[in-house]
A and B are shown apart, each in its own frame.
Chain A
Amino acid sequence: MKTLEATKLADLAAALTAAGYRVIAPCQRGDQVHLECYQAGKTLRADVIPVNSAKDALFPRSEVIGRYRFEGNEFETVPVAPQAGKTVLLAVRPCDAAALAPLDAVFNWDYKDEFYNAHRDATTVVALACTAADDQCFCTSVGGSPDSTANADAVLRPADGGKRFILESLTDKGQAIAAAGQAVLTEGQAQADPPAQVAPAFDSAAVTAWAKDGFDSPLWKELSLACMGCGACAYTCPTCHCFDIQDEATRREGVRLRNWDACGFGLFTKHAGGHNPRHDQASRWRQRVMHKFAYFPERFEMLACTGCGRCGRLCGNGMSIREVCSQIEQAAQAGVK
């Protein structure tokens, strides 16, 4: 089997960079860890779940999707090819890899989005099996597991008490990673460490079942009281994919941008004429939860939550979808509508 010394994760990133990959890896930034482009000298951290999710690499927070030029009254639109270089998501968590399924579904169900798919096709996913979890993790409550290999091209398994990783290639793309990183990989034996224990937080089937008739529940008001509508949960979520389209122009030319948006923002559904179908934060929170646990499963037969816990770690008011779903499950058990 192929192994990598735990201290050599950055060496693998350097080898892949040298092989022409853009390497997105968990990099130390101040006292935080971010998934960002590896550059020589950056410290990689496999022991902390990064603040942001891997979706940033496939669905950038701001992306040019077209250009136009104008000269007086003469206009011309200029198509833009997606800027999708060969990319590897190195040591992303199984919950990040799991999120590719809902993203693939929404960006391909009708129009096959050329930008998302260009990034997706150019991307190799090397997941890092989790041997530790924190109190926000709940992948096991939404169909995942800390050592899941779903959607991964290769997996790094911590081994021998964290001294090294075992690199398992699962697809041709994964084989290419093993080949490109050959110089820093060793052929040998290692004992995989046991996966993290992630205690179940709630029963997602119970949440989905309650949500079917839960649209009018007074519970939404209570559950959303702490929400400030800042959108941090959506931005850090590996599956949230709502976006806005904005034009920016100078006198002679302009760009059309696709920017992240969030259903928690008051303006998200507000009409120019003033009417807002989701007029309060409770209805917006309901949308967030119902979309992930009711509407998305109805339409695409999968949850749009992978239990990464980022929303809970980042929320300035200590809210999390994990906590909200636990409360919904309790309400369901108590027969509260």
Chain B
Amino acid sequence: MTMTMSNPASASPYLPRVATVAEACKFTPKEAWFRFEFADGQGIQYAAGQFMEVSVFGVGEAPISICSAPGKRGDLEMCIRAVGDVTNALHTLQVGQTVGLRGAFGNGFDMDKVAGKDLLFVAGGLGLAPCRSFILDALNHREKFRNVTILYGARTPADLLFTKDLEAWAQRKDSTFLMTVDRGDENWKGNTGVITTLFRKMPKVDPANTAAFIIGPPIMFKFAVLEALAMGLRKTSIYCSLERRMKCGLGKCGHCQIRNVYVCQEGPIFNYAEVMRLREGI
């Protein structure tokens, strides 16, 4: 809530601020990228890992992770998969049209907490969206960290998201980027296989001094965590983002509750030791 309150609030925390679609780009038939600008011109401050409740007026509201670099800015980006009423309606929006945004909600993550460490990012599928916020933050402040390794897995080459970013990351000399697809096609010359196969291809990390950010579907998280633990990473140095059907974002409505924790407030970023205690987390 602290982070929310630092932002210009609408009159009620249940009502969104109005924002316009400044840019939009269809990544795949199901996933589109949007850049939203706030109509009140007051901008927003958010941390990596935070999310917002996105309203399509007349349709409803859905919780979506922010995928742009954190900080204080006039806009923000989201990558949205069309799966429900709200997200399908979002996909019909054109540049210049209006949405509502409430937040930012959640604990977010201050990358300074892992300054001086090796960073390992493991993103599966749409998990690249929230993970991108962390990655961009790390690459924008590259000098703060030691080795940076980014692993990304998608189902097929056609499912790859943020392809411009992927190319840019692959070009960088100061970090390692590896990606894989579960199934290639006739033009695919890269890695094939599930994301855990990349763990064997990446440069060695110093396990006692590495922070891992593993964000993806539950099944990927389970196996990627096993790999990270096998490498010797500490449970408290493995971070993930818990997806929940958050409704209010204010720690009231109960939807995101896991045990005595409100994910919309105390999450969605948890370390693996916390996730194990929560049990229902993944």
Q: Are A and B bound to each other? A: yes
Residues of chain A at the chain B interface (Cβ within 8 Å): 65-66, 68, 70, 73-77, 79-80, 106-107, 109-111, 113-114, 215, 241-247, 249, 254, 256, 258, 261, 263, 268-275, 277-278, 283, 287, 290-291, 294-296, 298-299
CB-based contact B58/A107 at 8 Å: no
CB-based contact B253/A244 at 8 Å: yes
17 A-B residue pairs with Cβ-Cβ distance under 8 Å, sorted by A, are A66-B12, A66-B15, A70-B57, A111-B251, A111-B252, A247-B55, A249-B57, A254-B57, A261-B254, A269-B244, A270-B245, A273-B83, A277-B281, A278-B280, A283-B280, A287-B257, A295-B260
CB-based contact B253/A77 at 8 Å: no
Nearest CB in chain A: distance from B80 CB, A = 10
Complex Cα–Cα for A244 and B254 (A):
9
CB-based contact B250/A243 at 8 Å: no
Q: Is B135 an interface residue (CB 8 A)?
A: no
B243-263 to A contact mask, C-beta < 8 Å, 1/0: 111011011111101111000
CB-based contact A73/B260 at 8 Å: no
Residues of A near B281 (CB, < 8 A) are 277
Complex Cα–Cα for A215 and B281 (A):
13
Using known A-B contacts A106-B252, A278-B280, determine if residue A77 contacts B15 with beta carbons closer than 8 Å: yes
CB-based contact A245/B248 at 8 Å: yes
Q: Which residue of B lies closest to A277 (CB)?
A: B280
Complex Cα–Cα for A25 and B66 (A):
48
Using known A-B contacts A68-B57, A246-B60, A272-B83, determine if residue A73 contacts B14 with beta carbons closer than 8 Å: no
Complex Cα–Cα for A283 and B83 (A):
25
Using known A-B contacts A73-B97, A215-B279, A247-B55, determine if residue A277 contacts B257 with beta carbons closer than 8 Å: no
B12, B81, B248, B281: most-surrounded residue (chain A CB, <10 A): B12
Nearest CB in chain A: distance from B43 CB, A = 18
New A-B pairs, 12, CB < 8 Å, besides A274-B83, A275-B218: A79-B12, A79-B15, A111-B13, A242-B255, A245-B60, A245-B61, A245-B253, A247-B61, A249-B57, A261-B255, A272-B83, A275-B243
CB-based contact A65/B254 at 8 Å: no
Residues of A near B42 (CB, < 8 A) are none
Complex Cα–Cα for A70 and B98 (A):
10
Complex Cα–Cα for A315 and B220 (A):
40
Nearest CB in chain B: distance from A73 CB, A = 6
Q: Is B10 an interface residue (CB 8 A)?
A: yes
CB-based contact A269/B255 at 8 Å: yes
**Chain B residues numbered 212-266 whose CB sits less than 8 Å from any CB in chain A:** 217-218, 243-245, 247-248, 250-255, 257-260, 265
Interface size for B (C-beta < 8 A) is: 46
Residues of A near B18 (CB, < 8 A) are 75-77
CB-based contact B247/A245 at 8 Å: yes
B10, B15, B83, B100: most-surrounded residue (chain A CB, <10 A): B15
Complex Cα–Cα for A261 and B96 (A):
35
The 7 closest A-B pairs by CB, nearest first: A249-B58, A242-B254, A272-B84, A79-B11, A295-B260, A272-B83, A66-B15
A contacts with B: majority SS: mixed
Residues of chain B at the chain A interface (Cβ within 8 Å): 1, 10-16, 18, 55, 57-62, 81, 83-84, 86-87, 96-98, 100, 217-218, 243-245, 247-248, 250-255, 257-260, 265, 279-281
CB-based contact A77/B10 at 8 Å: yes
Residues of B near A272 (CB, < 8 A) are 62, 83-84, 86-87, 245
Using known A-B contacts A291-B257, A295-B259, determine if residue A247 contacts B252 with beta carbons closer than 8 Å: no
Using known A-B contacts A278-B280, A283-B280, determine if residue A243 contacts B81 with beta carbons closer than 8 Å: no
CB-based contact A109/B248 at 8 Å: no
CB-based contact A271/B57 at 8 Å: no
Q: Which residue of B lies closest to A240 (CB)?
A: B254
CB-based contact B253/A261 at 8 Å: yes
Residues of A near B13 (CB, < 8 A) are 111
Residues of B near A249 (CB, < 8 A) are 57-59
Residues of A near B97 (CB, < 8 A) are 73
Complex Cα–Cα for A111 and B105 (A):
12
CB-based contact A110/B265 at 8 Å: yes
CB-based contact B252/A107 at 8 Å: yes
Residues of B near A246 (CB, < 8 A) are 60
Complex Cα–Cα for A308 and B57 (A):
40
Q: Which residue of B lies closest to A276 (CB)?
A: B245
Complex Cα–Cα for A241 and B262 (A):
14
Using known A-B contacts A243-B254, A273-B81, determine if residue A256 contacts B1 with beta carbons closer than 8 Å: no
Complex Cα–Cα for A287 and B258 (A):
9
Complex Cα–Cα for A151 and B55 (A):
38
CB-based contact A111/B250 at 8 Å: yes
CB-based contact B245/A247 at 8 Å: no
Residues of A near B265 (CB, < 8 A) are 110
A75, A76, A275: most-surrounded residue (chain B CB, <10 A): A75
